Amino acid sequence: MRERKEDNNVLVGLAALIGCIAFILIYGVTVLNPVYDDWLLGQGDLTQHYLGWCFYRRSDWTVPIGLANNLAYPSYTSVIFTDSIPLLAVLFKVLSPFLPETFQYFGWWGILSFALQGYFSAKILQEFLSGKLQILIGSIFFIVSPIVIERMFRHTALGGHWLILIAIYLFIRHKKDYQNWIKTTLCWGGLGALIAAIHLYFLPMCGAFLCGYLLCSILRDKKIHLNRFLPGVSFVGAIGLVTYLLGGFSTRATSSADGLGECSFNLNGFFNEKGYSRFFNALPMYHESQYEGFAYLGFGIFILAAIAVLFMLVETVRKRGRWLQDYFVELLSGSLISIGLILFAASPMVTWNNKLLFILTDSSTLTNYWSIFRATGRVVWPVCYLIYFVVIVCNGKLWSIFFKKSTVASVVTTLVLAGCCFLQIFDISERLAGQREWLEEKSVYKSSLQDEVWDLLAKQENLEHFVWVSNNFENRQILEMAKWAYDNRLTMNIFYFARGISVIEDTQYCLSNPNDTYVFVFTQEEITEYLDCGLNFYKADEYIVGTTFMLDHERYE
């Protein structure tokens, strides 16, 4: 038994190593340089994550520990709302005195996520496959899944799909572990803590498997035991506690967002390649923002899915449907989880291609709570991994029926799996090459703020606060401003947050009580509203800058 356990540890370790190798082949090693940050700048959401960490690192320690007052000064906001992977942001803030002035951890988060993707996919496959090579090949499907490639270094925290795999693993281990309520309570609680410390969008994805887990407990016991619900209590409690510690309940940020339904899962999502496939063309969508529901499975998985259907037909004929009874609890719970996740992801506006099929609900109350997870399309990701798991396992089961000799069946299973894995990678290879091409050469960030006025402002020793005087901005604009403010050790009054925070009152107060510590920035379209507020105005690139002090530069009249 001990030898088998050691073998299993080596196997999952190899799968983690494959994940690291895959990451380096796709993204290279340049992103692993912690003092190289140019690749993170001028990149939209990726820049948001990095600058969010930079400002949080420079802020004072508070209780709760995840708050910073230099991104929405003088108000506090949480590192949760910059999607800066709070777990690592807090860790490296603790270590900040020992770190170089420029420090980024996003490349290492990427390679860690790929390693854990391999590790936990192998753990899942170990439960149903005995062939070591089959498990390793099967883990590659999870490691290079299009949905994780699409997220990594775009919404970087959401590249941590291994959290979903942990939930799946705990779910499929139910029969073996559920009576050990202490172990399962700790495991689900630990998962909840990780979700809150990485990204809360994983809550509904992993929470669905927790619900399935609790349902399995009821079905297996055929009655309700209160201690069977402790995993749920620990899961919810850990999420609440960690969210509090990170300041998620201590800011004025709104929990919901506008546009529910626009970022949903289009029902063609499993087949819509959106620029990933060599074999298929992209399908139309109802909303442009439905890219959030990207869930392309891949050509290799399509072939394995056909094999899985053949297996189910053969088993139905051979056992006259009795195999369904053998796995009734798992199949029922898994089916309910999948249906629930797809409905959540596709709703409230259910679409196919560019057609609106129906609206699930128009309840304003329900919509308000649903809008907490506005980009509902993301919630379909666990279904993709369930499909991966099912079709890979069914492939192994089918050939053991056709070939009585176990060695022959094992060889055929491995060859078919390897062939499908090759086709899977070949199908998305152009997109993978594009990722490498993007990061292969060292980029050098150049700010769009090039006017002499910015240099003159940077020399002002009394300057402490940057104030954007407008209710409207483009993310590109505010991120450029934030980089300049950070480089010059200024606070920001507004930032590109994952959830909105009202700063109108604070901004108007600063504008009504200006002094030499403030620099006010206006758009040219709105400057006429503020020309009589007693500031000296200067044109700087596409903006107008206002100060209480004079600059050695032509004034804007």
Query: Residue 5 — pLDDT band, cuts 50, 70, 90?
Result: low
Q: Which residue has the higher pLDDT, 326 or 35?
A: 35
pLDDT digits (tens, 9 = 90+) for 455-497: 999 999 999 999 999 877 788 899 999 999 999 999 999 999 9
Distance CA 308, CA 532 (A): 73
Instruction: Note the pLDDT of residue 278.
Output: 95
- pLDDT at position 452, please? 95
Report CA torsion sign: 308, 419, 296, 198.
positive
Rounded distance between C-alpha atoms, residue 202 and residue 205, angstroms? 5
Q: What stretch of H or E contains 519?
A: strand 518-523
How far apart CA 374 and CA 348 sit, in angstroms, is: 10
pLDDT band at 349 (very low <50, low <70, confident <90, very high): confident
Determine the pLDDT at residue 377. Answer: 93
Domain range summary for the chain, segments of one domain joined by +: 452-547
pLDDT for the residue 536: 94
Q: How far is CA 518 from CA 460, 491, 506, 544, in A?
A: 10, 10, 13, 14
pLDDT top residue among 125 and 502: 125
pLDDT of residue 257: 66
- CB-based contacts of 130: which residues, under 8 Å, 6+ apart? none
pLDDT, average across residues 492-520: 89
Buried b / exposed e across 341-363, counting CB within 10 Å, b at 16+? bbbbbbbbbbbbeeeeeeebeee
What mean pLDDT comes out for the span 394-411?
86
Whether the pLDDT of residue 3 is over 60: the answer is no
Straight-line distance from the first to the last Cα atom of the chain, in angstroms, rounded to the nearest whole number: 83
Residue 339: per-residue pLDDT = 95
User: Is pLDDT at 372 greater than 90 in this prediction?
Assistant: no
**276-334 confidence digits (pLDDT tens):** 999 999 999 999 889 999 999 999 999 999 999 998 888 888 766 566 666 788 888 99
The pLDDT tens digits of the residues spanning 195-207 come to 999 999 999 999 9
Tell me the per-residue pLDDT of 417-446, one tens digit each, with 9 for 90 and over: 999 999 999 999 999 999 888 887 778 899
